[in-house]
Amino acid sequence: MTTAQPHTPDDVSRAIEATLFASEQPLTADQIALHLGLGESGGDGVRATLAELERDYEPRGIRLVQRGGRWHFETAPDLAHLLRREKEELRRLSRAATEVLAIVAYHEPVSRAEIEAIRGVQTAKGTLDVLLEAGWVRVAGRREVPGRPVIYATTPAFLDHFGLASRRELPGIDELRAAGLLDPVDEDMIGAGLGAPRSGNEKPGFLAIEDDPD
Amino acid sequence: MTTAQPHTPDDVSRAIEATLFASEQPLTADQIALHLGLGESGGDGVRATLAELERDYEPRGIRLVQRGGRWHFETAPDLAHLLRREKEELRRLSRAATEVLAIVAYHEPVSRAEIEAIRGVQTAKGTLDVLLEAGWVRVAGRREVPGRPVIYATTPAFLDHFGLASRRELPGIDELRAAGLLDPVDEDMIGAGLGAPRSGNEKPGFLAIEDDPD
Amino acid sequence: MATLFDDEWEVEDRTGARDDKLYLEIEGWEGPLDLLLDLARRQKVDLRVISILQLVDAYLTYIEEAEALRLELAADYLVMAAWLAYLKSALLLPRDEAEDPSPEEMALRLQLRLQRLGAMREAAARLMARDRLGRDVFLRGAPEGLRIERKSSWRCEWLDLVRAYGDVRMRSEPVVHMVRERMVMTLDSAISRVSSMLGVAIDWMDLRDFLPPAHDGWADPRLRRSALASSFVAALELARTGRAEIVQEETFGPVRLRAPKP
């Protein structure tokens, strides 16, 4: 296998490498520049060096990756079988939780009513709580419509966990968007009678039939 | 600087790299071999690869090192200073610290008991520490009275900071009032005798303090 | 209800063959839309070209069978069945132009909803199958950590310094309290004034008429207020000891006094 010739590490590159290696959290290029005392303008130089380092590590068992603008080292994914720790296996999310997570990620920001409109069922409060607790979903404010429903979005930890540089890397997001499947859930698009029980405080017009006299 | 050509990472090398990276403890070659399922005889191969990896990382900001037969990654020793960085913050002196500083400046040398007597309130130890740390106040010995209290005085750095040639340039109370620099106070509240700052070493007679036995 | 952590969950499993009895367990679906999507998937055609009529038939058949087996069907499944039956008839019957939305549009919306849900379900599966941190890829096991030691550099202005000193000095000066002497009408003098005036009064008299006239050094409003307060207390005192009668006909109305009728 031939690989690109790794560049000879210079001082800045070595310092960036060491900083990221030692850090307990992922760091942005600007944070690295600040830490290294490169000043406000140092971010760009750091970014260029990070790109070089990323290439250097490409063939190795350790990777330098960027998630939501923050960089960290992690093991190469193809070595998962060697490293997987049975004991620490993540608790599996329920089907409902994974669906809600996907809906939040692909549609963010979304309200609970919108999530329920897509899934056609009420979402147990616990389901969102699990995602909030996992640190993958956060409350992103309220939508300025009647009832001011809380809206949800994903977090940097979500990108970290699923190995996404940004939400643009969500699998198939471009196709889904092109097919109009990520359009805002429009009340008019959804006929009555699709039977999702209405959720508590938000009152979307398109969910319930029983209280929609026609 | 020319460096040895890094060897192209092969599967074993990548696996060792990732294993050591993810491990919470340093590992021996035999432990690594076991972990990677290379069997009893794998240790030698692992040792050879570790030596190669060690060379690969030589010029980088990260080192592969062996201590007592156990291997681990660490930050290159010449970059250790990056792990502990000092950050300077400009902070405004608290109200209490400003008062204490002023009292030291006008009355030096003074003991803490005297400072408290003048301020009429107890002075937290931290307040004097801040002034010592700022380099504006120094310990100027002990007063030869029972209890031998520590006495404080200002430093040349204090004069520098405030642009004073000497302490004599500090304005007296009357001057301050004449210049309108004192907060207006109800005349009824103030008796006569707001004189110039009390100078010199006399010990005020009205001590009511915690840590200076008299 | 679905549990939050469901170990046997697998997305692909739902489309696999199941034994009929199991298949009829309505509990297995998260609501009618979920069931519809499953039925749609069984037709093994793209959701975009699926026949809604066929799908409606499949759903209605399913619900009928379930009812025949006396499974308890949740209301929302039946509501959906009713709505689908209505949709079916609307699609089959001659078209009523006035109808809005048209049955075709309703069918299209249903199809879109199924596509949306199908897309999210697939996206969830793809997301879960990614190389996940802590499962497939790992962070450094024992990072040294970056420590930032904050060192303070202190700031204080000359003006702050001298002002602080001024404040300290003023605060620590011995405080002398002086109460300014103020002219008042004492209660004693009010009692003697009111009782002597009552002695000569013929009828009810307003309390305010007992006050000294506004000249003679009684013009100061603060003194008049004191006189009014003292006279009022005097009136109460005299009434209490039976030397006066006191009356006020309405709230905030005039307080009037007279000597008690023997």
Tens digits of pLDDT across chain C (262 residues): 333 343 333 333 444 444 444 345 566 788 889 999 989 988 888 888 888 899 999 999 988 888 887 777 788 888 899 999 999 888 888 777 777 778 888 888 899 999 999 999 999 999 998 988 888 888 888 888 887 777 777 888 888 888 888 888 877 766 667 777 778 888 888 999 888 888 887 888 898 888 888 777 788 888 888 889 999 999 999 999 988 899 988 888 889 998 887 6
Q: Does residue A3 lie within any of the structural domains? A: no
Q: Is the ipTM of this complex over 0.85?
A: no
Q: For a pLDDT cut of 70, what percent of chain A falls above it?
A: 79
- The secondary structure of C115-133 as a DSSP string is HHHHHHHHHHHHHHTS--B
| Nearest residue in chain A measured CA to CA from C7 | A92
* Ordered structural domains, chain C, with CATH: 32-129 (no CATH), 187-258 (1.10.10.580)
d(CA C190, CA C194): 6
**Same-domain check for residues B119 and B50:** no
**Same-domain check for residues A115 and A162:** yes
**Same-domain check for residues B175 and B144:** yes
Tell me, what CATH number does A176's domain have? 1.10.10.10
Long-range contacts of C53-62 (CB under 8 A, 24+ apart): C53/C88, C53/C91, C53/C92, C56/C84, C56/C85, C56/C87, C56/C88, C57/C88, C59/C32, C59/C35, C59/C84, C60/C84, C60/C85, C60/C88, C62/C24, C62/C35
Q: Which amino acid is at C245?
A: E
Chain A: touching chains (3 or more CB pairs < 8 Å): B, C
Q: Kindly report, residue by residue over A6-35, the tens digit of the pLDDT.
A: 556 788 999 999 999 999 999 999 999 988
**Same-domain check for residues A107 and A171:** yes
Q: Which residue has the tokens 């760009």?
A: A44
Burial of C78 by CB count in 10 Å (0-12 exposed, 13-18 middle, 19+ buried)?
middle
Lowest average pLDDT, out of A209-213, B43-47, B135-139, B193-197, goes to A209-213
Contact C52, C111 (CB under 8 A): yes
B148 and chain A in contact, CB less than 8 A: no
DSSP SS3 for C147: strand
Interchain contact, C151 vs B87, CB within 8 Å: yes
Q: Which residues of A50-75 are buried (b: 16+ CB within 10 A; e: fewer)?
A: bebbeebbebbbbbbbbbbbbbbbbb
**Same-domain check for residues A127 and A186:** yes
Q: Kindly report, residue by residue over A131-145, the tens digit of the pLDDT.
A: 999 899 999 999 988
Q: Does residue B87 lie within any of the structural domains? A: no
DSSP SS3 for B152: strand
d(CA A56, CA B61): 13
Contact B98, C156 (CB under 8 A): yes
**Same-domain check for residues A53 and A100:** no
d(CA B188, CA A194): 81
Q: What would the two tokens of residue C118 be? A: 């199908």
A23 and chain C in contact, CB less than 8 A: yes
**Rg of the Cα atoms in chain C:** 48
B38 and chain A in contact, CB less than 8 A: no
A-chain CB neighbours of C115 within 8 Å are 179, 181
Beta-carbon contacts of C125 under 8 Å, excluding residues fewer than 6 positions away, are A98, C11, C12
Q: How confident is the model at residue B54 (pLDDT cuts 50, 70, 90)?
A: very high
Q: Domain boundary at B58, B82, B106, which? A: B82
Longest dimension (CA), chain C: 117
Q: Which of A19, A75, A126 sits opposite C146 (nearest CB)?
A: A19
- Residue B194 predicted with pLDDT over 60: no
Domain residues for A142? Answer: 95-194
**Same-domain check for residues B167 and B128:** yes
Beta-carbon contacts of C21 under 8 Å, excluding residues fewer than 6 positions away, are none
pTM for the model stands at: 0.61
Q: Does residue B169 lie within any of the structural domains? A: yes
Burial of B134 by CB count in 10 Å (0-12 exposed, 13-18 middle, 19+ buried)?
buried
Q: For a pLDDT cut of 70, what percent of chain B falls above it?
A: 80
Give the mean pLDDT per block of 10 residues along chain A (214 residues). 55 92 92 86 91 94 94 92 64 86 95 91 87 93 90 94 93 93 65 40 35 33
Chain B: touching chains (3 or more CB pairs < 8 Å): A, C
B139 and chain A in contact, CB less than 8 A: no
Q: What would the two tokens of residue C163 be? A: 């002002």
Q: Measure the N-to-C terminal CA separation of chain A; round to a whole number of Å.
A: 69
Domain count, chain A: 2
